[in-house]
């Protein structure tokens, strides 16, 4: 029999059990790496390359990848596509590891059935007229669980 080592607090224990359920669903053992890019499909999240986004001016693009790069990590569009999929955009300036963590968080929100509740700005407005990026936010408990 295999002993399950779980965190000591009740809350952490619940989080760990849900994480194990997610691994189970993905067919991945506790020792294998969980690939968020493979899992995204099951969560019906479509990861879109930042470079593929149309309608961004060169100035906005430069702003998002430059001075505002620390202010956003990525996120899912709150409004689903007609086929039910949702777009996810990851900040290409953050590197693979952080992109994977950001995507895993978005997947967790889907699997845990969290509903986005309010529109929150991820970047501040700028003096040179660059738009703010708005994204749906989750409540504090849901963020912690994800």
Long-range contacts of 21-30 (CB under 8 A, 24+ apart): 22/108, 22/111, 25/111
Q: By the 8 A CB rule, do 86 and 77 touch?
A: yes
Q: How far is the CB of 137 from Zn ion (least distance, A)?
A: 8
Q: How far is the CB of 138 from Zn ion (least distance, A)?
A: 5
Site mask for Zn ion (CB under 5 A), range 78-107, x = bound: ---------------------------x--
Q: Which of residues 17-56 bind Zn ion (CB under 5 A)?
A: none
Q: How far is the CB of 62 from Zn ion (least distance, A)?
A: 26
What phi-psi label fits residue 27: left (phi over 0), alpha (psi between -120 and 50 degrees) or beta? Answer: left
Q: How far is the CB of 142 from Zn ion (least distance, A)?
A: 7
Q: Which stretch binds Zn ion (CB under 5 A): 4-12, 51-59, 89-97, 138-146?
A: 138-146
Q: Which residue in the block uniquely carries the two structure tokens 């040179």? A: 128
Size of the site for Zn ion (CB under 5 A): 3
- DSSP-derived 3-state class of residue 110: helix
3-state helix, strand, coil in the chain (%, to 5): 45, 15, 40
Site mask for Zn ion (CB under 5 A), range 104-133, x = bound: -x----------------------------
Q: How far is the CB of 143 from Zn ion (least distance, A)?
A: 5
User: CB-hemisphere CA count at 13 Å for 11?
Assistant: 5
**Contact footprint for Zn ion (CB under 5 A):** 105, 143, 146
């Amino acid at each position: 029999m295999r002993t399950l080592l779980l965190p000591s607090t009740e809350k952490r224990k619940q989080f760990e059990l849900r994480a194990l359920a997610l691994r189970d669903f993905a067919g991945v053992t506790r020792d294998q790496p969980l690939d968020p890019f493979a899992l995204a499909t099951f969560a019906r999240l479509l990861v879109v390359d930042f470079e593929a986004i149309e309608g961004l001016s060169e100035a906005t693009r430069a702003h998002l990848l430059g001075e505002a790069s620390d202010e956003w990590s990525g996120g899912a569009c709150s409004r689903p596509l007609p086929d039910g999929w949702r777009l996810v955009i990851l900040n290409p300036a953050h590197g693979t590891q952080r992109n994977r963590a950001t995507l895993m968080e978005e997947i967790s929100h889907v699997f845990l059935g969290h509903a986005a509740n309010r529109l929150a700005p991820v970047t501040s407005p700028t003096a040179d007229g660059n738009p703010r990026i708005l994204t749906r936010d989750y409540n504090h408990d849901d963020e912690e669980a994800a």
